[in-house]
Amino acid sequence: MDLTLAPDILEQLIEYAKNAYPHEACGLLVGRNAADRFIPITNISAHAREYEMDPGELIAALRSLRDMGEELLAIFHSHPHGPAEPSKTDIERAYYPEAAHLILSLAEPERPLALAFRIVDGEVLPIELHAIV
Contact 52, 44 (CB under 8 A): yes
Considering the candidates 11, 15, 24, 57, report the single residue annotated as catalytic. Answer: 24
Amino acid present at 14: I
Catalytic residue check, 70: no
pLDDT band at residue 48, thresholds of 50, 70 and 90?
Answer: confident
Chain segment 54-94, per-residue pLDDT in tens: 999 999 999 999 889 999 999 999 999 999 999 999 999 99
Q: State the average pLDDT for the chain.
A: 96
Report how far residue 130's alpha carbon sits from residue 4's, in angstroms, rounded to the nearest whole number.
5
Report how far residue 71's alpha carbon sits from residue 55's, in angstroms, rounded to the nearest whole number.
18
Beta 71-79 vs 100-105: how paired, if at all? Answer: parallel
- Give me the domains of the chain, ranges plus CATH numbers: 3-131 (3.40.140.10)
pLDDT for 40 equals 98
Chain segment 89-133, per-residue pLDDT in tens: 999 999 999 999 999 999 999 999 999 999 999 999 999 999 997
**Whether residue 43 has pLDDT greater than 80:** yes
pLDDT for 45 equals 96
pLDDT for 37 equals 97
Prediction pTM value: 0.96
Q: How many CB atoms lie within 10 A of CB 57?
A: 17
Residues in Cβ contact with 117 at an 8 Å cutoff, skipping those fewer than 6 apart = 85, 86, 100, 101, 103, 124, 125, 126, 127
Which candidate, 94, 72, 98, 84, places its Cα nearest to that of 126?
A: 84
